[in-house]
Structure 1
């Protein structure tokens, strides 16, 4: 059975909220290290009421990844160009779900004429986003007391393949 990526609706909020909480508790364990203060702060706004509001807001675009009848992932873009959330169910990582959701969010950002996306990202996820063309601008203590990476991506830029290097130092 394949994964379907579709726009989230407020009806998805209960399952999306549970997915967010589980993904943070289990999938981001290397980042929060079971430190109660950080984990509680990180989870504090992941409530049914907030997720419903995020999915209902016309200034947000949320997608869910659906595997059969189950949510496998969710992502949220704001009109300010922030990739605010991007989480995949811990048991379903490395199956292309995150990539598909990011592609959907980036397509919406382009349709909104957003030229650059940005996010705060736990260190364990930075490599994933870097492989998708996001630039790691360094550490920032913005994620609920957790040291995170600040990443950004220019959406209207032409990407140079990683194997190509342009340097004038060799004279060639």
Structure 2
């Protein structure tokens, strides 16, 4: 069964919201460890209204992966170069869905002249992004209190060596 990657529309919001919530609750269980304060904070903005707003905003680009007529994945890019969402339905990981969505997001980023993408990823997802050429710059706190990895990828130049660390210093 093939995977169709297409731009998300507001009419996808309900199914996308369900996918996000299930993916976080089940697929990211090792990351939140069933700690209710982290899980509830992580899920708090995953509402149909918010997802509709995210999909409707001209400063975002969201894609969905559709397999067998149902949503299997969701990814969202902001014009600030942030890969804000990248989730695959539990039970459908390791089937090329995430890679196909990231490829579509990177193509849009290049169209928007975004030279570098960045994201926060829970530990369970970091290896996936590293295999796609993202550099793990170390631990950082996500807005919902979970310690995540900060990852980035240069799109307009040769890939930096894997040992290179992200630096925000001004050279002073």
TM-score computed with the length of structure 2 as normaliser: 0.92
**Unpaired segments ≥5 residues, structure 1:** 163-172
Larger Rg: 1
Match of 2:151 in 1: 151
Match of 1:117 in 2: 117
Q: Is the 8 A contact 1:140 1:149 kept in 2?
A: yes
Give the superposition deviation at 1:88: 0.1
> What CA deviation, in whole Å up to 9, does each residue of 1:53-86 have, x standing for no partner?
0000000000000002100000000000000000
Give the superposition deviation at 1:110: 0.2
Query: What is the distance in 2 between the residues matched to 1:104 and 1:26?
Result: 25
Query: What is the distance in 2 between the residues matched to 1:110 and 1:42?
Result: 29
Match of 2:18 in 1: 18
SS in structure 2 at match of 1:90: coil
Does the C-alpha gap of structure 1 residues 161 and 37 become closer, same or farther in structure 2, counting only changes over 3 Å?
closer
2:63 maps to 1:63 = yes
RMSD, matched Cα: 1.2
Match of 1:81 in 2: 81
SS in structure 2 at match of 1:91: coil
Match of 2:91 in 1: 91
> What CA deviation, in whole Å up to 9, does each residue of 1:81-117 have, x standing for no partner?
0000000001100000000000000000000000000
> What CA deviation, in whole Å up to 9, does each residue of 1:11-38 have, x standing for no partner?
0000000000000000000000000000
Give the superposition deviation at 1:143: 4.3
Q: Is the 8 A contact 1:120 1:143 kept in 2?
A: no
TM-score computed with the length of structure 1 as normaliser: 0.92
Matched length? 162
**Unpaired segments ≥5 residues, structure 2:** 163-172
Match of 1:105 in 2: 105
Query: What is the distance in 1 between the residues matched to 2:124 and 2:114?
Result: 26
